[in-house]
Amino acid sequence: MMLAALASSLEGLFADDGLRPRQKVAAIIFSVTLLVVVVELVRRRKLREEYSVLWIVTAIGLLLLAWQYRLLTVFQQLFGIVEPQFALFFGALLFLVLIALQFSVRLSKLTYRNKFLTQRVALLHQEIEELRSRIEPDSASDPREEEP
């Protein structure tokens, strides 16, 4: 009984689908795993919330596309894609491009800040050395010796 019910509901899941069952199951498992991993990383504070947004949207988007064939058809028609499998890939790719772009922008910003801070450290270090050598003239040291 149980098995029959499960089988019929599974049949419903795969009814008039352009994706093969295996493809569909794989895509759903993949997107659910991704979602769980991203949420877990946020929970452990290993991933900042701001970066999790695009990842979660990607995982949910992929899940919906794999699960709801009608959505995938709309997506297919939007981009003129013939193969539903490719539509799935294309959807994932689209999000990955966005994520990569977001990272590049972040990196650029961090590079600016890193430069600014490094310059500031160099200036402050010199100022400290100068002040120190005024107080105790023999203590001026080579900053390179103090590197960790």
Partner 1 sequence: MSGPTVILIPACNEAERIGPVLDGIREHAPGAVTVVVDDGSRDGTAWVARERGAVVLSHPFNLGYGAALQTGYHYARRRGADRLVQLDADGQHDPASIPDLLAALDAGADLVLGSRFLRPEDTPRTSMLRRSASRMFAWIVTWWTHVEVTDPTSGFQALGSRALELLVLDMFPDDYPDADMLITAARAGLKLDEVPARMHERVGGVSMHRGSRAAYYMFKMLLNLALLPVRRPSPFRGGRAVAAERATQRGQTARAG
Nearest distance, CB of residue 5 and partner 1, angstroms: 56
CB 17 within 8 Å of CB 24: yes
Q: Is 72 helix (H, G, I), strand (E, B) or coil?
A: helix
Please identify, among the stretches 7-15, 37-45, 46-54, 104-112, the one whose residues bind partner 1 according to the rule CB under 8 A. Answer: 104-112
Binding piece for partner 1, criterion CB under 8 A, among 13-21, 24-32, 48-56, 124-132: 124-132
**Which residue in 16, 18, 27 sits closest to 83, CA to CA?**
18
Task: Give yes or no for residue 142 binding partner 1 (CB under 8 A).
Answer: yes
Q: How far is the CB of 116 from partner 1 (least distance, A)?
A: 5
Token pair 């939007």: residue: 78
How many angstroms from the chain centroid is the CA of residue 108?
A: 17
Given the rule CB under 8 A, which of 32-40, 46-54, 60-68, 108-116 is the region that contacts partner 1?
108-116
CB of 99 to partner 1, least distance (A): 19
The single residue among 16, 136, 138, 147 that binds partner 1, judged by CB under 8 A, is: 147
Measure the CA–CA gap between 81 and 88, rounded to whole angstroms.
Answer: 10
Helix (H, G, I), strand (E, B) or coil at 137: coil
Distance CA 103, CA 97 (A): 10
Interacting residues toward partner 1 by CB under 8 A: 109, 111-113, 115-116, 118-123, 125-126, 130, 140, 142-144, 147
